[in-house]
């Protein structure tokens, strides 16, 4: 059976919404004078596209509210991880709709374009017909991945290579993590492109990364007589799977009492972490790998500082590219992350500050820098803050917790897990307080 024939007989579980059926193709009525159903279709579709980009409930609701006010209707919205339920009132009629997306993900390029659409709506789109607006939204919705799976594999390789150095790894671990993470994320992107389910793409990509690292290490032992003590870096090769966007947006949503969205995003993040660490643990048992400490690097304090800045820049840049950010936004986020993450690490090393407190200060710094850049350049704040602090998420701690649970070393497992939770809580708190300090509208519940 031909591939196209196979695709045609596969029924989608989520039916596509015929947005243009809400409008009249030959109508010259502007959207402001259109009927409530047509106005609601525009408001709902904007919210749904924003949701598909990976942003949180606060931003989705704010965008829908801005359009509703411009169109002269009142909108109440309930936002989840993958669905929106909303009502539109115009004083005489009420329209209720329930919309959902087929899958969740992150697309900061599309998010940036949507924020521009919402900001320009009063001066541009509000003077168009509903059909013309939906055509513009069609164009935005077609913004898919800016990068091929190979480039995204290289981005993950760069990010995990930087991660490896920041966690204490040396050149050998960095090279092997670069190769293994690149292979793992390349396979992951291929599976996502063919719409395979979440559990399958996590399991296969993580297993591939661990196996690749083990093969590289074994070949290096045989051919180059590299010591087996470098096996600890296999953990770093799978850190491309860290769910940074849902982790951070869940904290922001919970802070704004958007409990449904916050809890759903948190659950989604936990699912990814559990599946990833479980399969990494299974692969470690099969390949006889152990999460040992890295071999100590003997570097001067100034050299260590410079290399931390470079590694943090590379790590954040790689993650930002994986989130589909344009290069200029990725580079901006990388500069923020280099400053914020290096500050965090230096505080831990030279002041003895607890890791969670240093993570809070690092995230706060990233949030303040991102807010300043947003005011000057208009880049979406979340496109800058999340990549810049994803590198602070303690993936190593979470994996070691699951590994020790698996071998029934419960005391060690609880210690690693407690340390990871404290840091994970500190990161969104830092961003939230940065928003409170710089965004007047974010300080209030209403």
Who contacts 174 (Cβ-Cβ below 8 Å, separation ≥6)? 161, 164, 165, 233
What pLDDT sits at residue 1?
A: 44
* Encoded tokens for 333: 């986020």
DSSP state of 89: E
Closest CA to 311 of 338, 332, 330, 335: 338
Closest CA to 372 of 284, 438, 301: 438
What pLDDT sits at residue 173?
A: 87
Cα separation, 142 vs 125, in Å, equals: 18
Cα separation, 63 vs 110, in Å, equals: 14
DSSP count for the chain of H helices, then E strands:
16, 3
What pLDDT sits at residue 7?
A: 47
- Strands (DSSP E) along 313-387, which ranges? none
How confident is the chain (446 residues) per 10-residue block, as mean pLDDT?
48 73 74 87 92 89 91 91 90 88 86 89 85 89 84 93 87 90 93 88 93 89 76 83 86 87 92 90 85 75 89 92 90 93 91 91 92 82 87 84 83 89 90 86 70
Q: What are the φ/ψ torsions at residue 94 (nearest 5 degrees)?
A: -140, 135
Who contacts 362 (Cβ-Cβ below 8 Å, separation ≥6)? 340, 341, 343, 344, 347, 389, 392, 430
* Encoded tokens for 416: 């690693």
Query: Are the beta carbons of 64 and 114 closer than 8 angstroms?
Result: no
Cα separation, 350 vs 346, in Å, equals: 6
DSSP helix/strand/coil, 143: coil
What pLDDT sits at residue 6?
A: 43
């Amino acid at each position: 059976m031909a591939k196209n024939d196979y695709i045609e007989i596969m029924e989608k579980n989520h039916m596509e919404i015929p947005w243009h059926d809400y409008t009249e193709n030959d109508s010259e009525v502007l959207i402001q004078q259109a009927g409530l159903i047509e106005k609601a279709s525009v408001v709902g579709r904007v919210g749904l596209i924003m949701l598909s980009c990976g942003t949180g409930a606060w931003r989705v609701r704010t965008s829908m509210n801005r359009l509703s006010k411009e169109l002269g209707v009142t909108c109440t919205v309930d936002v989840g991880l993958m669905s929106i339920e909303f009502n539109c009132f115009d004083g005489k009629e009420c329209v209720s709709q329930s919309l959902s997306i087929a899958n969740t993900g992150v697309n900061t390029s599309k998010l940036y374009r949507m924020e521009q659409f919402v900001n320009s709506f009063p001066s541009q789109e509000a003077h168009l017909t509903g059909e013309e607006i939906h055509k513009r939204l069609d164009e935005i919705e077609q913004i898919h991945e800016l990068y091929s799976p190979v480039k995204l594999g290289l981005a993950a390789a760069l990010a995990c290579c930087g991660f490896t150095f920041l966690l204490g790894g040396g050149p050998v671990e960095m090279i092997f993590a670069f190769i293994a993470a690149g292979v793992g994320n390349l396979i992951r992107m291929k599976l996502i492109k063919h719409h395979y389910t979440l559990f399958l793409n996590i399991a296969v990509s993580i297993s591939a990364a661990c196996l690749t690292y083990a093969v590289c290490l074994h070949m290096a032992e045989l051919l180059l007589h590299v010591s087996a003590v470098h096996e600890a870096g296999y953990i770093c090769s799978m850190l491309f799977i860290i769910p940074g966007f849902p982790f951070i947006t869940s904290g922001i949503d919970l802070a704004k009492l958007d409990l449904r969205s916050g809890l759903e995003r948190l659950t989604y993040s936990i699912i990814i972490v559990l599946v990833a660490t479980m399969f990494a643990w299974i692969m470690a048992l099969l390949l006889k790998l152990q999460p040992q400490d890295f071999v100590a690097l003997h570097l001067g304090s100034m050299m260590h500082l410079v290399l931390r800045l470079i590694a943090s820049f590379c790590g954040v840049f790689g993650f930002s590219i994986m989130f589909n950010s344009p290069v200029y936004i990725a580079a901006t986020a990388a500069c923020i992350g280099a400053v914020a993450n290096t500050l965090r690490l230096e505080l831990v090393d030279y002041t003895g500050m607890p890791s969670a407190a240093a993570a809070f200060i690092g995230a706060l710094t990233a949030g303040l820098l991102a807010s300043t850049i947003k005011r000057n350049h208009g880049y979406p704040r979340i496109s800058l803050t999340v990549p810049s602090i994803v590198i602070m998420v303690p993936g190593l701690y979470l994996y070691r917790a699951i590994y020790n649970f698996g071998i029934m070393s419960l005391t060690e497992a609880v210690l690693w897990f407690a340390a990871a939770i404290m840091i994970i809580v500190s990161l969104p708190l830092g961003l939230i307080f940065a928003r409170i300090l710089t965004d007047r509208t974010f300080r209030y519940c209403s």
